[in-house]
Amino acid sequence: MRPVSIIGAGKTPFGVFPDKSLRDLAAEAGSKCLKNGSASPVQVEAFYLGNFAGPAFVGQNHLAPYVGAALGLEGVPATRIEAACASSGSAFFHAWTAVASGAYDIVLVVGVEKMTSQPTARVTDILASAGEVDGEVRAGATFPSLFAMIARRHMHQFGTRREHLAAVAVKNHANGAKNPEAHMRRAITLEQALNGRMIADPLTLYDCSLVSDGAAAVLLGPTERAAEFSPRPIRVLGAAQASDRLALAEKEDITTFPAVRKAAGKAFQMAGVKPEEIDLAELHDCFTIAEIIAMEDLGFVPRGEGGPASAAGFSSLEGEKPINTSGGLKSKGHPVGATGVGQLCDLALQLRCEAGERQLARANLGLAQNLGGSGATCVVTILGR
């Protein structure tokens, strides 16, 4: 396998865009990415699209060539990858594999979702289809209720408190307020987070990610050619995808996600680094408890200590391990098919020292963790300058 680099990155703001279609959003992000990588559509040899539920959200199937044509991609293989909220993380993983293996040199990856065209109740139903439909969903489970059960078990098992969950929300909103492309640029207080409208006990409105529109894109190429396209390429040091069972009832312990641990183990080994060497991370905080568990599964803190560490400032911009400097899914937004590649774009900003108010003094190694469903899919990617 040969070394691979990100040679271009671009994304749309995340938010509510009634005048932009799924295709508009994807084309905008892809075009920004190609420009950022000083590349033209004719140089792209393959195209991977990450998208969870375009057919359900906007009624369009056959999305990869549909989006590819809008980007001016002619005759290249165009493939859509679906892995729930990890769709574009998985699309990136498969694109990285294609370049690393030598099958292609220049590959474009776009993640996109257009969610706000449907009412909230319909969005909830569409998202629930990423769970076990025959069992949990038929019994009435939604992802807020599933992650509420995960949070309750974590509280019972480790003494995690609602204040710990709220600390994650406060931190991510503070970061998102400094991100000009975030869906919700509004800081909140701990009191607000604790007193938010209850969605699924113990999760309030402030513990849940946003329903967003948006797209993100990265351009990949062999590291040996990276200087042809970018003066500041980002090295892909490690990338791994793993899976697990969909249903919570089939998991041995719902306070940890085996797919995260497996993917992380492979990515760390490939990169030749340890968790403590990572300078910053973009973690999949679809719910605040998900960030806490990810911190533990990735080895940033011991199991059961993610909550207290969050409350103590461990993951703040000034902390030992800054997490979700973008604002995370909680504040930046969560257009599910765009989230994984969006995380990589945000890491690229930090590694290139282009993150503005959120820029860290030390940003040499970054990690992205993109989760699908209640832990059934996970992609972990480690990037370096």
Are 55 and 92 contacting, i.e. CB atoms less than 8 angstroms apart?
Answer: no
Nearest Cα neighbor of 36 from 7, 67, 68 is: 7
Assess whether 171 and 244 both reside in one domain.
yes
Number of structural domains (the chain) is 2
Nearest Cα neighbor of 281 from 181, 137, 383 is: 383
Assess whether 314 and 347 both reside in one domain.
yes
Assess whether 269 and 337 both reside in one domain.
yes
CA angle 357, 363, 368 (to 5 degrees): 95
Six-digit token pair at 106? 């220049």
Question: Given this model, what pLDDT does residue 52 score?
Answer: 98
Question: Given this model, what pLDDT does residue 264 score?
Answer: 98
For the residues 200-226, what does the mean pLDDT come to?
98
CATH of the domain at 148: 3.40.47.10
Alpha carbon distance 126, 74 (integer Å): 32
Assess whether 166 and 304 both reside in one domain.
yes
Question: Given this model, what pLDDT does residue 281 score?
Answer: 98
Assess whether 126 and 22 both reside in one domain.
no
The CA distances from residue 98 to 4, 8, 22, 47, in Å, are 10, 17, 26, 11
Assess whether 58 and 100 both reside in one domain.
yes
Question: Given this model, what pLDDT does residue 220 score?
Answer: 98
To the nearest whole percent, how much of the chain has pLDDT over 70? 100
Assess whether 204 and 82 both reside in one domain.
no
Assess whether 77 and 154 both reside in one domain.
no
> What DSSP line would sit under 236-295, residue for residue?
EEEEEEEE--S-GGG-S-TTS-HHHHHHHHHHHHHHT--GGG--EEEE--SBHHHHHHHH
Catalytic residue positions?
Answer: 85, 334
**Residue 188 sits in which domain range?**
120-208+236-384
For the residues 107-117, what does the mean pLDDT come to?
98
Assess whether 307 and 163 both reside in one domain.
yes
Handedness of CA 311, 317, 323, 328 (dihedral sign): positive
Rg (the chain; Cα; Å) = 19
> What DSSP line would sit under 298-331, residue for residue?
TTSS-TT-HHHHHHTTTTSTTSSS-B-TT-HHHH
Write the burial class of residue 270 (CB in 10 Å: 0-12 exposed, 13-18 middle, 19+ buried). middle
For the residues 281-310, what does the mean pLDDT come to?
98
Specify the pTM: 0.97
Confidence of residue 170 (pLDDT cuts 50, 70, 90): very high
A 10 A CB-CB count for 16 gives: 15
Six-digit token pair at 77? 């293989």
Average pLDDT, the chain: 97
pLDDT in tens, 2-41: 999 999 999 999 999 999 999 999 999 999 999 999 999 9
